[in-house]
Homo-oligomer: A and B are copies of this chain.
Amino acid sequence: MKNKISIDPAVKELLPIAKKNKISTVWDRYEVMQPQCGFGSLGLCCRICWKGPCRIDPFGGGPDRGICGADAHTIVARNLIRMMAAGAAAHSEHGRHVVLALWGVSRGRFSAYGIRDEKKLLSVAQKLDIETENRDTLKIAEEVALKTLEDFQNQDHQTACHWIKTVVTDNHFNKLKDLHVLPHNIDAVVCQIMGRTHVGCDAEPANVVLGGVKGALADLNGMVLATELSDILFGTPSPVVTSANLGVIKENAVNIAINGHNPLLSEVICSIAGEMNGDAIDAGAPAGINIIGICCTGNEVMVRHGVPLATNYLSQEMALITGAVDAMVVDVQCIMPSISEIGACFHTEVITTMDENKITGATHVSFSEESAGDTARRILGLAIEAFRRRDAKRVNIPDIKQTAMVGFGVESIVAALAKLDEKDPLKPLIDNIVNGNIQGIALLAGCNNTRSVQDRSFETIAKNLAENNVLLLASGCGAGACAKEGLMTMEATEKYAGESLKAVLTSIGNACGLGGPLPLVLHMGSCVDNSRAVNLATALANKLGVDLSDLPLIASAPEAMSEKAVAIATWSVAIGIPTHVGTIPQVTGSSIVTDLLTEGTRDLFGGYFIVEPDPASAAGKLMDIIRDKRKKLGI
């Protein structure tokens, strides 16, 4: 059984301890949940009104329509696009939070924050056609914030959101416009999806799905603005060496795990932790305070500040089972509600911080931008108090961690390339794609899912594509998996990269003074930071004068799980990228929706879904696509 759960050795080491303590983990709950409902798995269950629940019989003997008359295709399409709406909403809430913080900073409020990257501010302002010359920084920041807020406010359905224009080619922008799928307002588009899927509304499956695509593109818009404005406030990632996996937890430190997605509080915790090191030492922790990251809050501070990553989504409970995490501080998204119960089995203070995201049994410390510093201090204090209660006999920290060189945003990749060609940094990359040294580019993204062996698909696909000389980018829990598996090291490049890819990564690495190659997988950041990969790819497409769908470029979310992943994968398809998912989407109850996603979108957008649970087969299919794209480009 253990081998079916995870390839993460730390997980394997801790599961027996969970069992001994009678702690149920996500894998136990998965097992108990078997068999899972077939109607839901096929997308054929409708709970949209109180005439229902309705279920379409996939075998044809029972009901072929819901009570209202909706057929399988309508039901599947509605369920799917509500997932996209929820994903877009989650990202948009995160993005809104960041832009409102920037706006506050620009108005001289929120003393815990400031403009940490003025250069990024200027480049963002220019992208948004905001005048920058001879202007006060805060004035520019204010205008960036206000223009960004328009993407949540605009009521003219004919005018697209500002940010989406900055991440797609002009040609593709017009294509999306012609298909009426350009979002004009993130919130309004989410509402539109919820409204059009209400009982008795949109019932034409392709129309429903295209409505969802608009929501997915609103999701992209929200993600881009979240990433770019976060860089302004917290700094743009640059390469940094750190480590990953549960071995980053220190027996002799107050260990504070920050878990979730939104960097607003975790940034302040990281800034302030030093102030309270003395208190931690006084409490008996000679190594002071040790901040460690989990999931995408972890990725945010990892790529910006080199904070070590403890683990990714599926094994967040394992961090608690070490018995050495003194506080787990959570913000939003992908936080297992089980952590409060597991924390209570140990001494761990589980702290929720966002008023819209509480967990029964957790301590709630309400976060606000105004008092972020005080909030962070209070949380650090709670962690130190909890440390005093820690039972040394119950501590089991696996001695497992991997070095990880992370922090490859677009800016740092371009900076590295500039060492080869200062005037035209993208040229070396393009030249190496054209000459075949780099066969293509792949983004490994998305979640973990109990339906897959944790991290295995990422590892398999990464090694397979790397061997075939594909340049690998990663984000979110995909990046976490690669970091934990040691794929973000020079050694991994030496070991797994194909010869020509290795040569390119080595020449860039040497030019940057690393004394060796770039890591095999470039960590771009959290799942919101998928937008970084799009920015890079679009820069290449623009330089070549082609569309994203022409490039030898693929995306893969082999362990996709969340509604955010559904939204992300859909915009990935909609901007032209062949996109692999390793989880069977809950749409197979409708041939129309399934065909539309895997075939129809190819004609409309250039991108399409490839569904393949087996990672080795998936890698093969993705290589075929890359080769085919190269052939069509004549390279």
Interface set of A (CB-CB < 8 Å, partner B): 24, 26, 29-30, 32-33, 36-37, 39-41, 45, 47-55, 62-63, 65-71, 73-74, 79, 82, 85-90, 92-94, 96, 100, 149, 152-153, 155, 180, 185-188, 190-205, 207, 211, 260, 332-339, 341, 355-360, 449-451, 560-566, 583, 585-586
**Distance to closest chain B CB from A258 (angstroms):** 14
Q: How far is the CA of A67 from the CA of B451 in the complex (A)?
A: 11
Given contacts A47-B586, A69-B338, A202-B356, contact A63 B149 (CB under 8 A): no
**Distance to closest chain B CB from A142 (angstroms):** 14
Given contacts A192-B356, A195-B90, A337-B70, contact A37 B53 (CB under 8 A): yes
Report the 3 A-B pairs with minimum CB-CB distance, sorted nearest first.
Answer: A69-B338, A40-B53, A89-B194
Given contacts A45-B37, A562-B50, contact A89 B200 (CB under 8 A): no
Is B29's CB under 8 angstroms from A65's CB? yes
* Seed contacts A153-B155, A202-B358; 18 additional CB < 8 Å A-B pairs: A26-B51, A29-B63, A37-B45, A40-B47, A47-B79, A51-B561, A65-B338, A89-B193, A93-B191, A152-B155, A152-B187, A187-B187, A199-B334, A200-B337, A201-B335, A202-B357, A203-B335, A207-B355
Is B187's CB under 8 angstroms from A333's CB? no
Q: How far is the CA of A24 from the CA of B149 in the complex (A)?
A: 49
Is B339's CB under 8 angstroms from A69's CB? yes
Chain B contacts for A198, CB-based, 8 A: 86-87, 89-90, 333, 562-564
Q: Select one of B49, B71, B335, B451 contacting A563, CB under 8 A.
A: B49
Given contacts A24-B65, A195-B90, contact A360 B204 (CB under 8 A): yes
Q: How far is the CA of A586 from the CA of B585 in the complex (A)?
A: 26
**Distance to closest chain B CB from A594 (angstroms):** 15
Is A201's CB under 8 angstroms from B356's CB? yes
**Distance to closest chain B CB from A210 (angstroms):** 10
Q: How far is the CA of A53 from the CA of B89 in the complex (A)?
A: 21
Q: How far is the CA of A66 from the CA of B269 in the complex (A)?
A: 31
Q: How far is the CA of A565 from the CA of B191 in the complex (A)?
A: 17
Is A188's CB under 8 angstroms from B152's CB? yes
Q: Among the interface residues A47, A68, A199, A566, which one has the most CB atoms of the partner chain B within 10 A?
A: A199
Q: Among the interface residues A37, A62, A73, which one has the most CB atoms of the partner chain B within 10 A?
A: A37
Q: Which residue of B lies closest to A222 (CB)?
A: B191
Is B51's CB under 8 angstroms from A30's CB? yes
Chain B contacts for A560, CB-based, 8 A: 50
Q: How far is the CA of A437 from the CA of B197 in the complex (A)?
A: 45
**Distance to closest chain B CB from A260 (angstroms):** 8
Q: How far is the CA of A50 from the CA of B583 in the complex (A)?
A: 8
Given contacts A70-B337, A195-B93, contact A562 B204 (CB under 8 A): no
Chain B contacts for A153, CB-based, 8 A: 152-153, 155
Q: Among the interface residues A73, A187, A205, A358, which one has the most CB atoms of the partner chain B within 10 A?
A: A187
**Distance to closest chain B CB from A29 (angstroms):** 5
Given contacts A152-B188, A356-B201, contact A36 B50 (CB under 8 A): no
Chain B contacts for A358, CB-based, 8 A: 202-204, 207
Is B356's CB under 8 angstroms from A30's CB? no
Q: How far is the CA of A358 from the CA of B77 in the complex (A)?
A: 13
Is A195's CB under 8 angstroms from B69's CB? no
Chain B contacts for A47, CB-based, 8 A: 40, 45, 47, 79, 586
